[in-house]
Amino acid sequence: MTAGNSRELPIQLAIETTGRTGSAVLMSGDNVLLRRPMGEQIRTAAAIGPCLDEMLSWCRDEKKSIDFISVAVGPGSFTGLRIGVTAAKMLSYAMKLPLVAVDSLASVAAVVFFENPDLQTLRVGLDAYRGQVFTGQFHRGEILPPLAAIPNPWTPLPQSIEIVSAEQWSTLLASAQASQLTVAGDAKPFAKFSGTSMTRSELDAFGVGLVALRAAELSLFTDPMALVPRYLRPSAAEEKAETQSSPEMQSSAETQSSAETRGKG
């Protein structure tokens, strides 16, 4: 990639807002220059503007240039994803900076792998609500390959991510426990897991940055105008609208309406 900074590794602004809280970091390579959590005292929607403004002001004061933006694009909270993705798209477009999209589970795995150099395999689970779990199993080389030896093809958006039911999740947990597989993610999905469990980082944006750094080395950038969150499922409102507009529901409504008309007659 062509960097605007006269250094070996570029500076990026990484954003993560897929859960109840979020975070943003400025990074040069894997070195964190500035980090800020979001949503601890006020909602992420209200916190993200001042947070990003502070980061941009810091860059101006320190005479640092941002080379690209990175963002976790899901799966995760519908509202959180829209906030983070929209902010990243706006920054990328307004500042004319490249944009990297990163899977949110991959970002969780990246932090754990970075902090545990001997760990090779990990299952991540994030609460998808309604009794469901977003999950994926990762190998170190799949998420954090050495910068000098990134395989091609490689992607910051692994296709192995899935959403599973409570019953399916119980089976996956039993398998992880039997094979002594390390797990990480939200606390709720692992409440009954008695094996080795890693707590989700308060700064998952660091994981976004670690994965995005590798994507940038391969110039795996995304058109900001084309970027959409990876929801993996429709929202509750969308599901309700789809149900109400289905032929079966319409037929039922017409039958009910006819019955009511006959009754009035």
Please give the structure tokens belonging to residue 121: 């395999």
Residue 232 has what pLDDT?
84
Nearest to 205 by CA among 7, 1, 33: 33
Encode pLDDT of 42-69 as tens digits: 778 889 999 999 999 999 999 999 999 9
pLDDT in tens, the chain (265 residues): 444 444 468 999 999 998 878 999 999 999 999 999 987 667 788 899 999 999 999 999 999 999 999 999 999 999 999 999 999 999 999 999 999 999 999 999 999 999 999 999 999 999 999 899 999 999 999 999 999 999 989 999 999 999 999 999 999 999 999 999 999 999 999 998 999 998 888 889 999 999 999 999 999 999 999 999 999 876 555 455 555 655 554 554 444 444 444 544 4
Residues 133-157 as b/e (b if ≥16 CB within 10 A, e otherwise) read bbbbbbebebbbeeeeebeeebbbb
Give the pLDDT score at 244. 60
167-202 tens-digit pLDDT: 999 999 999 999 999 999 999 999 989 999 988 888
Distance CA 204, CA 190 (A): 18
List, in order, residues 6 or more apart from 67 with CB less than 8 Å away. 1, 3, 4, 5, 10, 11, 12, 97, 98, 216
Whether the CB-CB separation of 205 and 14 falls below 8 Å is answered with yes
Cα 119 from Cα 134, distance rounded (Å): 21
**Residue ranges of the alpha helices (H) in the chain?**
44-61, 78-95, 104-115, 140-143, 166-178, 204-217, 236-245, 247-264
DSSP state for residue 11 in the 8-state scheme:
E
Q: What is the pLDDT of residue 3?
A: 41
Q: What is the pLDDT of residue 100?
A: 98
Q: What does the alpha-carbon distance between residue 213 and residue 229 come to, in Å, rounded to a whole number?
A: 20
How much is the pTM?
0.86
Beta-bridge partner residues of 71:
15, 101
